[in-house]
Amino acid sequence: MVNPIYIIAVLLGIGFILPLTEKKLSKLGPWVFYAGMIFTALVSYQWFRFFIVSGGETYHIFTAGVKPPLSINLQIGLFESVLLFVTNLTGLAGAVYMTKQISETGVRAMVLLLLLLLGLNGLILTRDIFNLFVFMEITAISTYSLIGMDVKSRSLSAGFKYMTAGGLASAFLLLGIIIVYSLTGTLNLDGMIRSAEGIKNVKLLSIGSMMILFSFIIEAKQFPANGWALDVYEGTKPGVAGLISGIGTTAVFFGFYKIMPLFTNETLKIVMWAGLITFFFSNLMGMKQENVKRMLGYSSVAQTGLVISVSAWSFMLGNDKLIFPMIVLPLLFNHFFTKTGLFWIAGLVKKDTTGLWGSITENKILHGIFIILILALSGFPPFPGFWGKWNLVLAMSLDSNFFYIWVLLAGSLFEAAYLLKWAGITLKKDKSKDILEYNSYKMLALQIVVLIFFAVTVYYFMTGNFDHTNGGLHFYLPFALGTGLLLLPFIPEKLKGMISMSVIAVYAFYFLPDQNGIGRFFNAMFLSGGFFLTFATLNRKDRSRSFYPLLMLMLGSLIALVNSDNILHFFFSWEIMTLSSYFLIHRGKGSAEESFRYVMFSLAGAFLMLLGFAYSFPNLNGQMSFGIFAVPGQFTSLSFILISIGFLVKSAALGLHLWIAGSYAKAEDDTSAFLSALLSKAGIFGFVMLLLAMGAPSAGKFDLAYILSWIGALTALIGTMMAIYEEDAKRLLAYSSMGQVGYIILGLAIMSGLGWTAALFQMVNHFLIKGILFLAIAGVIYRTGTSEMYKMGGLIKKMPWSFTAVMFGIIAISGVPPLTGFGAKWLMYEALIEKGWYLQTGMAFFASTVAFLYCFRLIHAIFLGQPKTEFRNVKEAPAWFLIPQYVFIMAIFFFSIFPRVLIDRISAAVEPFFGKSLTWDGNTVISSLGYWNATAVMTIVGVVFVVLAIGLFIKLPKVQKVKQFNIVFAAERPETPELTHFAYEFFRPYRRAMGWMVRPYATRFWRSVTESAYTVSDALRKIYTGNGQTYIFHILLVLVILFYISTGVK
């Protein structure tokens, strides 16, 4: 084992030797420099390996051969070694990144880098407070110089602002050190902490620690004393900014962390809230930011704030040993690698404005890294940030600190907003070309960092708090499939699709029979739907490598969601599902805005769900199983409401439906089928789980299930109402989907056996129908190239198969006997009337009749009426689309004739929870109110229909087939098909009569919410005027505030 003191020695030594021997060894200089870097990295790796693999004891190094307080001592333990290793490796990568700069500026840059690294190593290692100060100053001076090294006005002024701030910080650190020293009589941290407890002059001690705290708050760039830091991030070269943001912040944080035990709980509380406030406000201000580096700066500041806040809280709890690796380290690593990586990527791109990053896609690897880092930074699984936040939220809930969670999640949402917006821009190709400044050294450095990050991610994923009580394989397999496909970019796309299909088939074959209960329905639905809808995607011509992996991830996450055993599984799958569906939607043309809206709504919903989990989590003393919902707790109804909102967002319930039309419409045509047929059921599954686990609690006087029923009924009605006014076929179907899912929610809210049977029946029905309709429309759009319905018309002659499919689809969806839709309606009304919810029944009935309007419009405007001249030569939709449609139609017919097959199974699944609600007499299903014999209905209708059709067929053997303009047109001839086809604004009179129902209240509300958020963001960031003196004022203001708080607390 190499003593870590040699790290310092070697770095310092090389730092001194290099300038001295600049002339003689000019060739050798860089080699020595890199050798030194590699040496430090190796040494720290050795220690890292020692602690991780061998689990060694914490090791103290005493300088000058004496123990403290007489000497300075260093300490290297597990955490130190980890941080040391990461820091040195990243430092090395940074050196690689700046190779060009180094070769230009020669020895100066090397020295500065070495000194910076030296300072950071020292900060991590030292246990002496004054030594800490010295290392901090070394770090600071080398940083100043690095900032100023590229001699530009911007960086110089930023550096100057930094210096004034740093100078003040160091002054107060000294003051604090001397006060604490005067009280404790030692400079050794451990000694100080030990003796701090017995000190009588508490006030002076608190002032002293306040001074130290203050200087660290400045150094760690806490709000609002951080204007200079943002300027530094913006003004510096990205290489340096990455180092400052990554390793610089980490080391300063660790220094802060070491001092934290010195503080009293009151002081820690201040730190905790100050950090959280920093997190919240920095992210809020970041939303309005368009400069890449400054935006990363805001994010960096925010993340540091969070890490500091959590550390302070861990010391307050006295649980720091556990919390540090579980929460602080993942958060820190997440921040460290992503920020370093992103800053370095920014160094590879010439443009500074986020809006101009469109053509970063030119370099696939770089773009991939970029997206991964953005996702990690936004806190998506499986990256460390997710684990950190997850653990943090749950731990906070155990501490009953719910307000903290609210603020934390709000801040996270803001952060995700600006990061995902940025990522969204890069996912769209734009005209700006040649924005990359490719440099292989920079790429190499980036790849090193990302590789370490992957390793960290894998580590946290493996040690993540999964509780695999049963069927871990069920859970992992889907993700493995998606990721596997992602890692196989060289396979042809068709093959990928086939692999996906076969894997789904195999999965269904092996796992489906083992399952039981309600989950089996969902799984069967997701698997069969996934299989057949994937079949339709094989038609694709455009080759994008990410489609099938994303699709498989989405399907996989749906399946995993159903198979999840605990809230972590559930949330993990949920996030992956949101993410993969976001990217899938984003692939469509012109979908940037819509997919962004989708992901923001989804994320907000997911965060509320997480909050709901947090409110219930303490119920079983920290167990993560779904059992927590069954135990009555203090916050049961609140938890129910919050989780419900999460599910309602996914189900596009009224008020939360803004995303649905746009994202369904703008997604690629075959993807929309997945979204509507499968993805919309995720929220339903959530409700199923929630209602099973929790029942339907009541909040005060209100029965929540009753409220839910109204939400469902209103969603059904308004969704349907909105559908009828749409000109775009896919938007129409999207709103239709919203309305149908509203029915399902209504059915679930009934909380009776019949209601659940109805809901699940309706769900299966909706899945089949929307599969048919979206695929049929996809086929039509594929051939005609438009989704505006009024532009089509008369396609029945060209696409009879698609027409037939749509016809069966609309008959089924509108609930007309004899197809399955009626079964769903029948069960639904029986259940509702049985429950006594008459008004909801009326509303549901109204919605179902209104559904006729859009059904007719869909089929009329596209397939009937006047064919357009431009579509004279369109062909039938490809068989890839038709085959799945007809499979679904056969399923519909089967369930229409023998609904018992389905209803029996649903009843069996529901019975354990609600008891028996339906009886059978032959093929007649009998409820408490009525009866229905689907087989008889089908037979009678079929026989009558066939007899009459034959009758007409016999009677009219010599019918003249005529063409489209052979119509009675008031004795005129139609001029053009366009003007003869009545399809545009089809239901205008209806809108005049009933339009008041669909005024965009929700749109206005959410628009004002987002606008005010952006306005606040813009107003807040104006405090950073760019004037160095303002920043000094901020710093002193923080000092005064801190002083008042710390003395006022007493």
Partner 1 sequence: MTMIGEENKNEKKNFDTELFCDAVPKEVPRINGIIQKFYDWAQANSLWILAFGTGCGSIEMRPLYTARYDISRFGMAPRPTPRQSNLFIISGYASVKTLKRIVRSYEQMQNPKFVMGLGSCTVNGGMYWDSYNTINRLDHYIPVDTYVAGCMPRPEALIAGFEDLKKRIKEGRAEGANEYAKNFEWYKANQKKVIKDWDMPDYNW
Partner 2 sequence: MENFWTTLLYAFISMFIIFNYGMVLGGVVYKIIARVHGRFGPPVWQPYINLVKVMGVRTAISHGIMFWLGPVFRFTGGIGLFLFMPVLFGVPWMQNFSFSGDLLLVIYFIFFGQLGMALGAAESGHPYSPMGIMRGLSQVTASEVPFALAVIALAAQHGTLSITEIVAAQQGGIANWNIVTNPVATLAGMMAFLGMMMHAPFNLHIAPQEIPIGPPTEYQSNFLSYMQANRAFFASAKLILFMNLFFGGATNIPVLVGKTFSLYMITVFIGVVNPRFTLENSIRWFIRIPTVTGIIAVLIYTF
Partner 3 sequence: MNIIFLIGFALMITGFWGMLTQKNMIKIILGLAIVETGVQLIMVAFGFIEGRTAPILDSAVPVKKAVEMIVDPVPQALVLTAIVIGVAVNALALTFIIKMYQKKKSLNITEYRDLKW
- Sign of the CA dihedral running 495, 498, 502, 508: positive
CB of 795 to partner 1, least distance (A): 15
Measure the CA angle with vertex 716, ends 714 and 717; round to 5°.
65
Residue with tokens 């889907």: 478
How far is Cα 395 from Cα 389, in angstroms, rounded to an integer? 10
**How many CB atoms are located within 10 Å of the residue 447 CB?**
16
Binding piece for partner 3, criterion CB under 8 A, among 43-51, 230-238, 421-429, 687-695: 230-238
Binding residues among 994-1023 for partner 2 as defined by CB under 8 A: 994
For 405, the token pair is 């969670």
User: Cβ distance 788 to 794 under 8 Å?
Assistant: no
What is d(CA 774, CA 680) in angstroms, rounded to the nearest whole number?
Answer: 13
Task: Compute the least distance from the CB of residue 843 to partner 2, in Å.
Answer: 9
Residues 588-617 that bind partner 2 (CB under 8 A): none
Give residues 964-983 in contact with partner 2 (rule: CB under 8 A): 964-969, 980-983
Q: Which does 506 bind (CB under 5 to 8 A by kind): partner 2, partner 3, partner 1, none?
A: none
**CB of 219 vs partner 3, minimal distance in Å:** 14
Q: Which is nearer to partner 3, 51 or 172 (CB)?
A: 172
- Give the per-residue SS3 of 490-525: CCCHHHHHHHHHHHHHHHHHHHHHHCCCHHHHHHHH
Q: Within positions 977 to 1036, which residues make up the interface with partner 1, using CB under 8 A? A: 977
In this structure, are residues 68 and 62 in contact, taking their beta carbons and an 8 Å threshold? yes
The Cα–Cα gap between 521 and 647 comes to: 18
**3-class SS at 692?**
helix
Nearest in space to 95 (alpha carbons), one of 442, 347, 366: 442
> Residue 166 binds which entry of partner 2, partner 3, partner 1, none, with Cβ cut-offs from 5 to 8 Å by kind?
partner 3
- 865 touches, from partner 2, partner 1, partner 3, none (C-beta below 5 to 8 Å by class): partner 2
Residue 68: CB atoms within 10 Å:
18
Residue 792 CB, shortest distance to partner 1, in Å, is 17
Decide whether 487 or 959 has the Cβ nearer to partner 2: 959
Which C-beta is closer to partner 2: that of 461 or that of 845?
Answer: 845
Tell the smallest beta-carbon distance from residue 973 to partner 1 (Å). 6
DSSP string, 201-235: -HHHHHHHHHHHHHHHHHHTT-TTTTHHHHHHHHH
- Report which of 754, 833, 441, 467 is spatially closest to residue 624, judged by C-alpha positions: 467
CB of 876 to partner 1, least distance (A): 18
Interatomic CA distance for residues 683 and 601, integer angstroms = 13
Nearer to partner 1, 197 or 972 (CB): 972
For residue 128, give both structure tokens.
């002496």
Query: CA gyration radius for the chain?
Result: 32
Number of residues that bind partner 1 (CB under 8 A): 14
Q: Which listed option, partner 3, partner 2, partner 1, none, makes contact with residue 184 (CB within 5 to 8 Å by class)?
A: none
Residue 164's binding partner out of partner 3, partner 1, partner 2, none, with CB under 5 to 8 Å set by partner kind = partner 3
Closest CA to 635 of 927, 403, 881: 403
Smallest gap, in angstroms, from Cβ of residue 841 to partner 2? 5
Q: Is 238 in the site for partner 3 (CB under 8 A)?
A: no
End-to-end Cα, the chain, rounded Å: 48
Q: Measured from the CB atom, is 369 or 796 closer to partner 2?
A: 796
Q: Cβ closer to partner 3: 958 or 1022?
A: 1022
Residue 973 as a binder of partner 1 (CB under 8 A): the answer is yes
SS3 600: helix
Among the candidate windows 111-119, 536-544, 660-668, 847-855, which touches partner 2 by CB under 8 A? Answer: 847-855
Taking the complex as a whole, how short is the minimal distance between the CB of residue 166 and partner 3, in angstroms?
A: 7
Cα(152)–Cα(672) distance, integer angstroms: 51
Reported as half-sphere exposure (CB side, CA atoms, 13 A), residue 732 has a value of: 29
* Stretch 106-165 residues interacting with partner 3 (CB under 8 A): 130, 134, 137, 140-141, 144-145, 148, 151-154, 156-160, 163-164
Which of partner 2, partner 1, partner 3, none does residue 144 bind to, with CB < 5 to 8 Å depending on kind? partner 3
Note whether 28 binds partner 2 by CB under 8 A.
Answer: no
Give yes or no for a contact between 281 and 1020, defined as CB atoms under 8 angstroms apart: yes
- Backbone phi, then psi, for 180, in 5-degree steps? -65, -40
Helical axes 29-53 vs 78-97, angle rounded to 10°: 150
Site string for partner 2, 764-803 (x = CB under 8 A): ------------------------------x-xx--x--x
Beta-bridge partner residues of 957: none
Alpha-carbon distance of 301 to 335, in angstroms, equals 10
Which one, of 115, 183, 197, 190, lies nearest residue 149 by Cα? 115
Q: According to CB under 8 A, which residues from 804 to 843 bind partner 2?
A: 807, 810-811, 814-817, 822, 825-826, 829-830, 833, 836, 838-839, 841-842
Q: Give the interface segment with partner 2, choosing from 48-56, 219-227, 435-443, 943-951 (CB under 8 A).
A: 943-951
Q: Which two tokens stand for residue 995?
A: 């339009």
Q: How many residues bind partner 2 (CB under 8 A)?
A: 76
Contact between 1032 and partner 3 by CB under 8 A: the answer reads yes
Indicate which of partner 3, partner 1, partner 2, none lies near residue 1024 (CB less than 5 to 8 Å, by partner kind): partner 3
Measured from the CB atom, is 178 or 997 closer to partner 3? 178
**Cβ atoms of 578 and 372 closer than 8 Å:** no
Q: How far is the CB of 981 from partner 1 (least distance, A)?
A: 13
Cβ of residue 923: shortest distance to partner 2, in angstroms? 10
Q: Show the binding pattern over residues 844-883: x = contacts partner 1 (CB under 8 A), - = does not.
A: -------------------------x--x-----------
Q: Is 207 in the site for partner 3 (CB under 8 A)?
A: no
Closer Cβ to partner 1, 35 or 952, answer by number:
952
Minimum CB separation of residue 497 from partner 1 in Å reads 38
Does the protein bind partner 2 through residue 961 (CB under 8 A)?
yes
Task: State which amino acid sits at residue 448.
Answer: I
One-letter amino acid at 184 equals: T
DSSP string of 391-407, one letter each residue? HHHHHHHHTT-HHHHHH
Q: Does residue number 931 form part of the binding site for partner 2 (CB under 8 A)?
A: yes
Stretch 943-962 residues interacting with partner 1 (CB under 8 A): 960-962
Of 68 and 899, nearer to partner 2 (C-beta) is 899
What are φ and ψ of residue 626, in 5° steps?
A: -65, -10
Contact 486, 583 (CB under 8 A): no
Distance CA 711, CA 478 (A): 33
The interface mask with partner 2, positions 433-472, x = CB under 8 A, is: ----------------------------------------
Per-residue binding letters, 905-944, with partner 1 (x by CB under 8 A): ----------------------------------------
Lookup result for tokens 């949330």: 571
Two tokens, residue 834:
């049985």
Q: Which residues bind partner 3 (CB under 8 A)?
A: 130, 134, 137, 140-141, 144-145, 148, 151-154, 156-160, 163-164, 166-168, 170-172, 174-175, 177-179, 181-182, 187, 230-231, 234-235, 289, 294, 1021-1022, 1024-1029, 1032-1033, 1036
Q: Which residues bind partner 1 (CB under 8 A)?
A: 869, 872, 960-966, 968, 971-973, 977
